[in-house]
Structure 1
Amino acid sequence: MVHGLLYALVALTAVRTLLAGPPLRAGSVIGLLAVAVSVYSVGARRTARRQGPDGTWSALPHLAVTVALWAGTFLLGPDAVWVAFGLDFAVLQALPLPGGVVALAMVTVIAIVGYAGGTPQAGVAEVLGPVIGALVALAVVQAVRALQREVAERTRLARELLAAQARIRAQEREAAAAQERERIARELHDTVAQSALSIQMLLEASASALERDDPAAARVPERVARTVLRLAQSLLANAVQHADASRIVVSVEAAEEELILDVVDDGVGFSPGTAEGFGLRAARARALAQGGRLEVESTPGSGTAIHVELPLPAQDETEREETPVGR
């Protein structure tokens, strides 16, 4: 807006000079004003990036040259006095307040002296005109700067508020995630502990039932029973952690020559061809260590069935295992 005002006043002065004066004088005045506007435009463009709401001292050189060229027009006539009003705004906006006020006073003095020197009949009104224009420019520029500072402060506060809200949301997400992890860990711990207890009770009940109904159950040595218990606990915990199942069925059966453990769930399943996780690898190694085998049947989306077979020793081997040393 300031640049536009200055350019408009220069154009008005050029027109008035062409209409009122000899061509040579008019051409000289217009030439000086054209050079002044060029210097001002180049300087204003260079300092625009460094100029904040309170102005910058880097604008002083091009403003000094501009004012000097404008002052030179008064040697040819008083027509350029109108440009003073635009320069008032230009120096106040571009320079810090102390420099702007000094430059404003210089522009006002040049306008008064230049106009009075070129107009013998100049009166009080002609003197007061530049002074009033300077005071108006000072009031307007100060009001605009105050508004700019207020806008800048509110913008800073808004950015800080947005940053604080973003931090609070991040902290809330982290807290919610931590609470969810804690809940899942607690539920998983409780589920695995309850499941292990249920498996142990199931094995004990199955052993009692097998001993009553099937003589082969009497040949289940303690080491095999412990292996079955550990396998059942491990496979059940693995299903709870990974299968996302709503139902898990565990069954134990003593056959003539082997003890059979089946763990079946209705969870997400997986492709048996993919790499097995640590839980399945550990269970398979435990079964192989007892001379048994572990088989996995699973389809993505259709649950998983794990079948374990552990060999049972012959009757005499069972008695030797259960006979205390030194007996």
Structure 2
Amino acid sequence: MQVQYCFETMNKSCEKNNWSNNIRIPMYVFMISTILATMAGNLAVIISIAHFKQLHTPTNYLILSMATVDFLLGCFVMPYSMVRSVENCWYFGEIFCKIHTGTDIMLSTASIFHLSFISVDRYYAVCDPLRYNSRINSFTVLAMIITSWVLPAIFAFGMIFLELNIKGSESYFYNEVSCVGGCFVFFSETSGIVSSMLSFFIPGIVMICIYGKIYIIARRQARSIKDSTNQIQFRIDLNVKQNGSRCKERKAAKTLGTIMGVFLICWSPFFFSTATGPFMSYSIPPIVIDAFVWIGYLNSTFNPMVYAFFYMWFRRALKMILFGKVFHFDSSRMILYYE
């Protein structure tokens, strides 16, 4: 089969994928479906939390911010990645390539920052409920959200525009990887380890430890609740109220723990390959790396599905959005769940 190039008239142009329509069309259908599902699902989460006053809680504000991250990923990153993945060509210019790559890394990193702060929120809610309201207040949540956006932005765009990601492997990159019409997510040995540690491994380990402790405390509380069933009658109502609150907090922790697990499963292949690929002489095929990127993107698609599965309030809010009831007078005060 004759080799085709992204830009036939330019020297050192990248080779274009010679896939038949039997491969190209299903890829476009899958990726477009993923993009639309990501945008629609996360937009529903954003509208639900922003519109209904009952959902204006610290945890939900963090979820709202994280849904915004996922929505922006679906809007501004995934469509261009789709063309690059199917065609193996970048038609949008070198400067926009850097903007796209920086935005991709920023939003991916911002997701795990949000999850890290959500795990801290759940820790205080379950393990230290008496001091939860004093520690996780509006100012604290705002600081968490700003940190989750600003630090990943500085890290991602600083690394890409200063070309720190190729530092130490410049010769290999420009001689073996770089070509006209390409936009590659490339990391040297040092930058691959640093990026993976800061964006994934360190926050991931911290979250696993926090949720492990939450699980242990929750089990201890469950045993305490079971033992308390034989206490005297006048304390029953108080125990029921306290135990109901604890059950709600544990369910929220379980839900967000599932979200964290989905994140780790989706992004682990990409970050493992990013950290180890440079030490294996970049022997992992580009098509495999590209597949790992899209598996990571699927995390942004799955998050709203997790909310729909676990949260009754989201299913009710989604129903009201779909039927246009959010446009009714005073709909923002609708009770979606009972305490």
Which structure: greater strand fraction? Answer: 1
Q: Which has the higher contact order (CA 8 A, sep 6+)?
A: 2
TM-score grouping bracket, smaller chain normalisation = under 0.3
The normalised TM-score by structure 1 is 0.26
Which structure: greater helix fraction? Answer: 2
The normalised TM-score by structure 2 is 0.25
Structure (1 or 2) with the larger CA radius of gyration: 1
